[in-house]
């Protein structure tokens, strides 16, 4: 298996165990749901990049140009979902969304809709990514996307800071178990948060640069709030995409400020990528989990390494929760994920 597949499997099995749904569906103690009503959707933005790199190098050395028969299954993005379905006997919807850095936020949103539309009772949803290899680092470095603060790596990821110079590449997996609310309550499940709304759209502007003033992001957040039937004034926290890039952070800050102007001082904002780096296709899944935990425990995670805010972000007047977590009880939160190609996703969660 490719490393991203291993990450996705591990996170999925942990999530199911935490949800009280460990084991194979339809067998033993896990008979609350029919296997045909359980689905899996684990996204990946890139797939098995390290395995592609290593296989190509090995192939160049060989006189006989033969690869492992497992090479293709190691790199295909949907194999994380496939393996999880086989391990837990989930025979319902099985998908893999690949929308760059918005992949797993789209996965969570679409999974929620499958349950809402009556196509599944349970969805294992999120994302997995593993591209920390020579090819991945070199490619993003060539795009001028990565931080070059190599002499001080622990402070390299610094969203909204005036000295930010690019993102830090991370890897891993974030997976949630989504479940029909009434059925979850009936079986006595521990519920961290409720998925209330989901928005998605496109900037239709540029391959890598967001639209001016974050226009596409603004509309995406409004669509999610409309879907959730939640007023912007009632949202207490936004987990931003906030990758630590010079252009993107300021544009998202402007977008959040415009959408949530009515929230005023009630709103906290933070980028947890300051602590995890950017997990690309897995970012939305892990950040949806952070947002759900923030609602459940009443703690806003901080934006670390925020020493001096850049002028654009500072002009918004937003509280970026610098360097220290904040205790806060609130009802609604929103998590943003945006990807190359101008693809956007926003998910609204509510406290239960």
Question: Residue 143, Cβ neighbours under 10 Å: how many?
Answer: 10
Q: Does the active-site annotation cover 101?
A: yes
CB-CB contact of 53 with 133 (8 Å): yes
Alpha helices in the chain (DSSP H): 3-18, 49-61, 71-75, 79-88, 103-116, 134-142, 181-186, 215-228, 248-259, 273-276, 283-297, 311-315
Q: Which of 96, 106, 220, 241 is catalytic?
A: 241
Least Cα distance to 250 among 202, 204, 211 occurs for 211
Residue 109's Cβ-side half-sphere holds a number of Cα atoms within 13 Å equal to 30
Q: Report the Cα–Cα distance between both ends of the chain, in Å, rounded.
A: 37
Question: Residue 69, Cβ neighbours under 10 Å: how many?
Answer: 7
Which structure tokens are listed for 80? Answer: 């994380």
Q: Does the active-site annotation cover 278?
A: yes
Interatomic CA distance for residues 210 and 187, integer angstroms: 44
Helix (H/G/I), strand (E/B), else coil: 305: coil
Q: Which of 83, 106, 133, 278 is catalytic?
A: 278
> Cα torsion for 309, 329, 348, 179, to the nearest 10°?
140
Which structure tokens are listed for 128? Answer: 């997995």
User: What are the CB-based long-range contacts (under 8 Å, 24+) for 113-120?
Assistant: 113/198, 114/39, 115/178, 115/179, 115/180, 119/39, 119/92, 119/93, 120/37, 120/38, 120/39, 120/92, 120/93
Q: Which of 101, 106, 133, 220 is catalytic?
A: 101
Interatomic CA distance for residues 222 and 234, integer angstroms: 13
Interatomic CA distance for residues 350 and 345, integer angstroms: 17
- Return the active site residues: 101, 241, 278
């Amino acid at each position: 298996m490719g490393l991203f597949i291993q990450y996705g499997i591990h996170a999925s099995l942990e999530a199911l165990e935490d949800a009280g749904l460990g084991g194979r569906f339809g067998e033993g103690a896990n008979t609350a749901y029919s296997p045909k009503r359980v689905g899996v959707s684990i996204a990946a933005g890139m797939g098995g990049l390290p395995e592609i790199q290593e296989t190509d190098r090995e192939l160049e050395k060989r006189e006989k140009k033969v690869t492992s028969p497992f090479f293709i299954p190691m790199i295909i993005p949907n194999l994380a979902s496939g393996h999880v379905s086989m391990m837990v006997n989930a025979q319902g919807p099985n998908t893999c969304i690949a929308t760059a850095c918005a992949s797993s936020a789209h996965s969570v949103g679409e999974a929620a809709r499958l349950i809402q539309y009556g196509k599944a009772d349970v969805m294992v949803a999120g994302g997995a990514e593993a591209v920390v290899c020579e090819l991945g680092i070199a490619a993003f470095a060539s795009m001028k996307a990565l931080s070059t603060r190599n002499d001080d790596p622990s402070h390299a990821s610094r969203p909204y800071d005036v000295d930010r110079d690019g993102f830090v590449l991370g890897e891993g997996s974030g997976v949630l178990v989504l479940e029909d609310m009434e059925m979850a309550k009936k079986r006595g499940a521990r519920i961290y948060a409720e998925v209330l709304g989901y928005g998605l759209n496109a900037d239709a502007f540029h391959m890598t640069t967001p639209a001016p003033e974050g226009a596409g992001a603004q509309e995406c957040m409004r669509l999610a709030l409309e879907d959730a039937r939640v007023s912007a004034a009632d949202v207490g926290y936004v987990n931003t995409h906030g990758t630590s890039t010079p252009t993107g952070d300021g544009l998202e800050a402007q977008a959040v400020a415009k959408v949530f102007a009515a929230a005023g001082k009630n709103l906290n904002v933070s980028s947890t990528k300051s602590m995890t780096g950017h997990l690309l296709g897995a970012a939305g899944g892990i950040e949806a989990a952070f947002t759900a935990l923030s609602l459940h425990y009443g703690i806003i995670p901080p934006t670390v390494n925020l020493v001096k805010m850049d002028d654009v972000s500072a002009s918004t007047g937003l509280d970026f929760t610098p360097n220290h977590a904040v205790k806060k009880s609130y009802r609604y939160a929103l998590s943003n994920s945006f990807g190359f190609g101008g693809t956007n996703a926003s998910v609204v969660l509510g406290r239960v």
